[in-house]
């Protein structure tokens, strides 16, 4: 049984095993893991009922929401959980209603996917004090809320190292979905990683919508236009942190004969169009699936919330995908950058310099 509070090391203890197949850039830095027998589909019902409310775009975005669902599905398979997922309206206006719907139906714990749930989770946690909540990408706001946070800047630093090492033009780009502090963490890490390899590299940056306008995560046409401009101006690799809009970045890369870097999930595996898969040289893995599953597992063990858990490079909560083998030749370089971040030699900024 876990203790009465979620503990970072308890959360990180199985990350190494779960990531061996998917995360890149070498080992070290994480805690030692032992694999437990999976419950499997034939396991007896556990009495565990888990509810999850997606961010805008919902299930099927091949990125952020789908990563969260993978953790939920693993809880069903391994822990015998009964699961329920709901998607908000296009404008996200009914997020609070989704949380209350799950609570009234007897789901506990309940997970809100995305920082936009912050106020709604806080309100629901007050209204339902006997239910445990978690929120992805936002801090705890009540004794029964756990914040699931990620060091996006660290994973993005590795993406920047890979981009700079692979760029023949010395010119790369970054497309952000919404210009807010969270997405600027991706930009900051990417910029620092690129400059660590090629200090004089040119980095184009475009945000699709301003802070507060979340449509930038659901606008592949805008993503395509932004990336097309970068490729036309001479960039040969573009990294996106733009949700569904990243599809447009991949389309632009395919049309230009250039490369792109995906985000959140291993997008070379999740994108179904074969002509787009080949342009994705790597993806920055943000292991939302691990965070969701570990939160559920800890809850089942008796843990309570009221604090934040951060998934960083030390526990392989972020990293790079190696599907396709396109960054295999720079593995040593990436391993060195990762280890320097883990041991503190490299301090990755969480906000861009300008």
Residue 101 · residue 53 · CB < 8 Å: no
Return the residue matching tokens 């939160």. 295
The tens place of each residue's pLDDT in the chain, 354 residues long, gives 333 344 433 333 333 333 323 333 333 333 222 233 333 333 345 799 999 999 988 888 878 899 999 999 999 999 999 999 999 998 889 999 999 999 999 999 999 999 999 999 999 999 999 999 999 999 999 999 999 999 999 999 999 999 999 999 999 999 999 999 999 999 999 999 999 999 999 999 999 999 999 999 999 999 999 999 999 999 999 999 999 999 999 999 999 999 999 999 999 999 999 999 999 999 999 999 999 999 999 999 999 999 999 999 999 999 999 999 999 999 999 999 999 999 999 999 999 986
Which residues have a Cβ under 8 Å from the Cβ of 269 and sit 6 or more positions away?
277, 321, 323
* Phi and psi torsions of 166, nearest 5°: -95, -15
Terminal-to-terminal C-alpha distance of the chain:
47
Tell me the DSSP string of 251-316.
HHHHHHT-EEEEEES-HHHH---HHHHTTEEEEEEE-HHHHHHHHHHHHHTT-B-SSEEEE-GGGT
Helix (H, G, I), strand (E, B) or coil at 194: helix
> What CA–CA distances, in Å, run from 292 to 68, 73, 283, 304, 348?
6, 10, 20, 15, 25
pLDDT score of 10: 38
pLDDT score of 57: 83
Please compute Rg for the chain using Cα positions: 19
pLDDT score of 91: 87
- Structural domains in the chain, CATH included, are 8-150+287-318 (3.40.50.2300), 152-286+324-342 (3.40.50.2300)
Instruction: Pull the structure tokens for residue 23.
Output: 């995360």
Residue whose C-alpha is closest to residue 238's, from 171, 334, 287: 171
Tell me the whole-structure pTM to 2 decimals.
0.84
Residue 244 · residue 178 · CB < 8 Å: no
Beta strands in the chain (DSSP E): 49-53, 82-86, 110-113, 133-136, 145-150, 171-179, 202-210, 237-241, 259-264, 280-286, 308-311, 318-320
Residue 90 · residue 56 · CB < 8 Å: yes
Cα angle 102, 105, 110 (rounded to 5 degrees) comes to 35
């Amino acid at each position: 049984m876990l203790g009465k509070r979620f503990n970072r090391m308890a959360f990180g203890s199985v990350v190494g095993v779960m990531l061996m197949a998917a995360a890149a850039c070498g080992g070290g830095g994480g805690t030692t893991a032992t694999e437990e027998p999976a419950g499997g589909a034939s396991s007896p019902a556990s009495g565990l009922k888990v509810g999850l409310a997606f961010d805008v775009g919902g299930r099927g975005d091949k990125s952020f929401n789908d990563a969260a669902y993978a953790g939920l599905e693993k809880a069903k398979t391994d822990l015998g959980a009964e699961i329920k997922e709901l998607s908000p309206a296009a404008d996200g206006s009914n997020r609070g209603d989704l949380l209350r719907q799950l609570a009234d139906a007897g789901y506990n714990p309940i997970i809100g996917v995305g920082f936009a749930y912050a106020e709604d989770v806080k309100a629901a946690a007050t209204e339902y004090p006997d239910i445990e909540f978690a929120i992805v990408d936002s801090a705890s706001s009540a004794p029964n809320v756990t914040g699931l946070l990620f060091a996006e800047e660290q994973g993005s630093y590795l993406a920047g190292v890979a981009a700079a090492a692979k760029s023949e033009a010395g010119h790369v780009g970054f497309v952000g979905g919404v210009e807010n502090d969270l997405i600027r963490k991706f930009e900051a890490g990417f910029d620092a990683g690129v400059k660590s390899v090629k200090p004089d590299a040119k980095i184009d940056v475009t945000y699709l919508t301003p802070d507060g306008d979340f449509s930038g995560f659901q606008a592949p046409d805008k993503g395509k236009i932004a990336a097309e401009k970068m490729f036309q101006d001479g960039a040969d690799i573009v990294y996106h942190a733009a949700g569904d809009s990243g599809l447009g970045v991949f389309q632009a890369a395919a049309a230009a004969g250039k490369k792109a870097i995906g985000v959140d999930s291993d997008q070379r595996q999740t994108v179904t169009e074969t002509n787009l898969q080949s342009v994705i040289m790597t993806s920055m893995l943000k292991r939302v699936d691990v965070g969701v599953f570990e939160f559920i597992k800890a809850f089942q063990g008796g843990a309570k919330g009221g604090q934040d858990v951060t998934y960083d490079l030390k526990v392989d909560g972020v990293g790079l995908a190696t599907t396709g083998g396109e960054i295999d030749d720079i593995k040593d370089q990436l391993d060195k950058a990762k280890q320097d971040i883990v041991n503190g030699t490299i301090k990755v900024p969480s906000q861009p310099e300008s």
